[in-house]
Amino acid sequence: MLRGEADLGVLIHEGRLTYERDGLSLVEDLGASFERLADAPIPLGGILASADLPEGTAETVTAVLRDSIAYGWSHRDEALATIRRYAQEMDEDVIWPYVELYVNEHTVDLGDDGARALAVLEQTARAAGVVGAGAAPLRIVG
């Protein structure tokens, strides 16, 4: 789009925060649309585990992930070094808002809003035929 090769596109990652700076115009924010229609935050990602794992495994992984996130928030300089290795945008004025968009209170504890968002996503996927009718319902751990 920036090179003029397309009329429309979908922005992801840091592009959601930098499109205006790059001279692009917003037509529709799909995340905001989901949040408005679902009355819940958009589930941007997740860790999935097989229901066949031994008892307690998912809970252990959840605890390790929570500890890792807490460590990252407590050691921002260390985290920044890792982020810079993978970031498309290197400006800290973009990096931290981006991280805070994706790593927030719902990352550590979905809460009622997060659980409702996943329920809406699951219902939508089932209605669209993306998830088979016989598939087990979503189970939230942690």
Return the SS3 of 129.
coil
Give catalytic status of residue 13 as yes or no.
yes
What span, in angstroms and rounded, lies between the C-alpha atoms of 12 and 72?
23
Q: Which of 13, 21, 75, 76 is catalytic?
A: 13
What span, in angstroms and rounded, lies between the C-alpha atoms of 140 and 64?
16
What span, in angstroms and rounded, lies between the C-alpha atoms of 140 and 118?
9
Residues annotated as catalytic are 13
